[in-house]
Amino acid sequence: MTQHASPHPQGDALQAFAGRELPPEAARQVERHLVECARCRSEVEGWTLLFGQLEELPELTPSAAFRDRVMAGVPSAAPAPGTAPETAEDAPPGLFTRLLRQLRSWLPHAGGRAGAPDSEGPVRPDPSGRAPPRGGGHPGTDRIQGLLEGSLSPAILHRVEAHLDTCPDCRDVAGEWRPLMARLDQLGHLPAPAGFRSAVMARVDVQAVAERARRRSLSPLRRTLELAGRLRPRSSRGWLVAGGLGALPTAATAAAVVAITAHPLLSLGGIVTLARWRLTEWVLGSGEAALGHLASLGGGIAITAVQAVAQAPGPLAASMVVLAAGTAASAWVLLRVLPIPSLIASRHEHRPS
């Protein structure tokens, strides 16, 4: 809100704007500038106040239609309709202005304006004493506020500006809002109490923060663990699925290991020795030869496994039972907990704690 797209209008222009003496195009330019410039807004506010004190506000020279509307809305407590305008016509502008203000203060305060943000909730008297909307055409006070603070989208801004050009009533409303908006923009910051910084820093462990940050940035393992933590199941059903999915390969691997190690000639130490031997050969020998060795190793293991199965029916039967049970459990869990997408739901938050 501090950078200005347009230059400040000269003092005369602001005064003329406050006095509604600018041609529409120039007025629109100033209006646009005021939207982004608190300084000029407050200057205009000053002129408007001054004009108001002189009771020479040109904005209060109303159209005939507006006067009719005012008179139509005056309750019986007010002077008889018909007499007031005539008197006013003859009276100096100051008296006319005062009269109009008085009349407007008598108007019934029904509801808010169409589209006003406070139109929901209890109906509250409109303190501005503004005439009720003519049709649905007037922009709501939210739009007026948006115009003054420059938060309207271009299309809406254009519509509201065009309306204000033709509607003195809404220009009044905008004028009523302007001082508040300017005052709010002028609030500014208050000085922080003395000793604020040292009191804060006394309770910040700079080294600990830096150390944690360093560890965080250095360790990909930690990041992997965090990722795993995010994929971790978040409900007991999630754990069931993970368990069921994990059971099948675990059981199969276990069964294979059991079957292989059950062979009387094969020990775990023997397999490791064989692997080490083959690996050394791989490293020392040419790639092609090593590939050949690898193929023969794979084939060897397969044949060994088949032989183990043939020669050790006891462990084989046991592993088949485990495998079947694992498969059944997986299938059961999967069937029970589908659909799976609900498990993936995880929220990312920016909250510090």
Residues making contact with another protein (CB under 8 A): 1-2, 116-118, 124, 127-128, 141-142, 145, 149, 151, 176-177, 180-181, 183-185, 187-193, 196-197, 199-201, 203-213, 216, 350, 352-353
Q: Which of 199, 121, 133, 128 is nearest to 163 (CA)?
A: 133
What DSSP character marks residue 265? T
Hey, how many other C-beta atoms are within 10 angstroms of the C-beta on 206? 8
Shortest Cβ distance from residue 150 to another protein (Å)?
A: 11
State the Cα torsion 169-55-32-13 to the nearest 10°: 140
Backbone phi, then psi, for 322, in 5-degree steps? -60, -45
Q: Which of 235, 245, 236 is nearest to 335 (CA)?
A: 245
Shortest Cβ distance from residue 205 to another protein (Å)?
A: 6
Return d(Cα 329, Cα 334) in angstroms, integer. 8
- CA 345 to mean position of chain CA atoms: 20
Residue 204: name its binding partner from Zn ion, another protein, none (Cβ under 5 to 8 Å by kind). Answer: another protein
Return d(Cα 175, Cα 186) in angstroms, integer. 17
Shortest Cβ distance from residue 17 to another protein (Å)?
A: 22
Return d(Cα 23, Cα 25) in angstroms, integer. 6
Residue 40: name its binding partner from another protein, Zn ion, none (Cβ under 5 to 8 Å by kind). Answer: Zn ion
Taking the least distance from each CB to another protein, the nearer of 207 and 286 is 207
Amino acid, single-letter form, for residue 134: R
Taking the least distance from each CB to another protein, the nearer of 196 and 332 is 196
Shortest Cβ distance from residue 149 to another protein (Å)?
A: 8
Compute how many residues bind Zn ion; rule: CB under 5 A. 7
Token pair for 194: 């003395």
Return d(Cα 193, Cα 206) in angstroms, integer. 22
Residue 347: name its binding partner from another protein, Zn ion, none (Cβ under 5 to 8 Å by kind). Answer: none
Residue 257: name its binding partner from Zn ion, another protein, none (Cβ under 5 to 8 Å by kind). Answer: none
Taking the least distance from each CB to another protein, the nearer of 105 and 166 is 105
Q: Which of 138, 143, 178, 263 binds Zn ion (CB under 5 A)?
A: 138
> Is the CB of residue 75 less than 8 Å from the CB of residue 108?
yes
Return d(Cα 299, Cα 270) in angstroms, integer. 17
Residue 37: name its binding partner from another protein, Zn ion, none (Cβ under 5 to 8 Å by kind). Answer: Zn ion
Taking the least distance from each CB to Zn ion, the nearer of 107 and 251 is 107
Q: Which of 35, 157, 160, 170 binds Zn ion (CB under 5 A)?
A: 170
Return d(Cα 120, Cα 129) in angstroms, integer. 19
40 binds Zn ion (CB under 5 A): yes
Residue 167: name its binding partner from another protein, Zn ion, none (Cβ under 5 to 8 Å by kind). Answer: Zn ion
Q: Give the footprint of Zn ion on this chain (CB under 5 A).
A: 8, 37, 40, 138, 167, 169-170
